[in-house]
Amino acid sequence: MAAITATAPAVRTRITSLFGCKYPILLPGMSWISSPTLVAAVSNAGGVGILATGPLTADETRKAIRTIRSKTDQPFGIGATLLMPGSKENVEVAIAEQVPIVNISLGKGNWIADRVHEYNGKILATVTNSKHAQSAIDSGADALMLTGHEAAAHGGDVTSLVLTPSIARRYPDVPIVAAGGYADGRGLAAAIALGADAVAMGSRFAITRESPLAQQMKEIVSNPNSTESDTLYGKNFDGIPARVLKNEEATRLMKNPASLPVVVYRALVAARKMRIPLYKVIPGLLTQWEKMYIIAQFGAATESLMKATVDGNYKDGVQFIGQSQGLIEDIPTVHELVQRVMHEAMDATSRCSATFLEADGLPASHSAM
Ligand SMILES: Cc1cc2nc3c(=O)[nH]c(=O)nc-3n(C[C@H](O)[C@H](O)[C@H](O)COP(=O)(O)O)c2cc1C
Whole-angstrom distance, CA of residue 300 vs CA of residue 122: 32
Instruction: Give the closest residue to 51 by CA, choosing from 81, 30, 22.
Output: 30
- Are 318 and 305 in contact, with CB atoms under 8 Å apart? yes
Q: Determine the distance separating the centroid of ligand 1 and the alpha carbon of 352, expressed in angstroms.
A: 30
Mean pLDDT of 336-341: 98
Q: Which of 30, 188, 327 to mutate to test the pocket of ligand 1 (most atoms within 8 A of CB)?
A: 30
Q: Where are the alpha helices (DSSP H) in 119-208?
A: 130-138, 160-170, 185-194, 203-206
- Are 217 and 312 in contact, with CB atoms under 8 Å apart? yes
CA atoms within 13 A on the CB side of 336: 12
- The least confident of 2-11, 32-41, 300-309, 347-356 is 2-11
Cα R_g (the chain), whole angstroms: 20
- Are 53 and 90 in contact, with CB atoms under 8 Å apart? yes
Instruction: Give the closest residue to 295 by CA, choosing from 308, 310, 284.
Output: 284
Mean pLDDT of 278-305: 71
Q: Determine the distance separating the centroid of ligand 1 and the alpha carbon of 202, expressed in angstroms.
A: 5
Pocket of ligand 1 (CB under 6 A): 28-31, 33, 52, 54, 81, 105, 147, 150-153, 179-182, 200-204, 206, 309, 320-322, 324
Domains and their CATH numbers in the chain: 15-216+330-353 (3.20.20.70), 222-309 (no CATH)
Q: Determine the distance separating the centroid of ligand 1 and the alpha carbon of 356, expressed in angstroms.
A: 35
Which regions of 38-136 does DSSP assign to beta strands (E)?
A: 48-52, 76-81, 101-105, 122-127
φ, ψ of residue 215 to 5 degrees: the values are -55, -40
Is the pLDDT reported for residue 83 higher than 90?
no
- Are 125 and 105 in contact, with CB atoms under 8 Å apart? yes
Please tell me the predicted confidence (pLDDT) of residue 32: 96
Give pLDDT tens digits for 174-212.
999 999 999 999 999 999 999 999 999 999 999 999 999
Is the pLDDT reported for residue 314 higher than 90?
yes
For residue 123, list its beta bridge partners: 102
- Are 146 and 124 in contact, with CB atoms under 8 Å apart? no
- Tell me which of 238 and 59 has the higher pLDDT: 59
Q: Determine the distance separating the centroid of ligand 1 and the alpha carbon of 153, expressed in angstroms.
A: 5
> Any long-range contacts for 106-110 (C-beta under 8 Å, 24+ apart)?
106/81, 106/82, 107/81, 107/82, 107/83, 108/82, 108/135, 108/139, 109/82, 109/136, 109/139, 109/140, 109/141, 110/139, 110/140
Give pLDDT tens digits for 98-127.
999 999 998 888 899 999 999 999 999 999
- Are 201 and 193 in contact, with CB atoms under 8 Å apart? no
Is residue 33 classed as helix, strand or coil in its secondary structure? coil
Q: Determine the distance separating the centroid of ligand 1 and the alpha carbon of 268, expressed in angstroms.
A: 24
Q: Ligand 1: which atom is nearest the Cα of residue 31?
A: 8
Q: At what angle do helices 87-96 and 110-118 cross, to 10 degrees?
A: 10
Please tell me the predicted confidence (pLDDT) of residue 239: 83
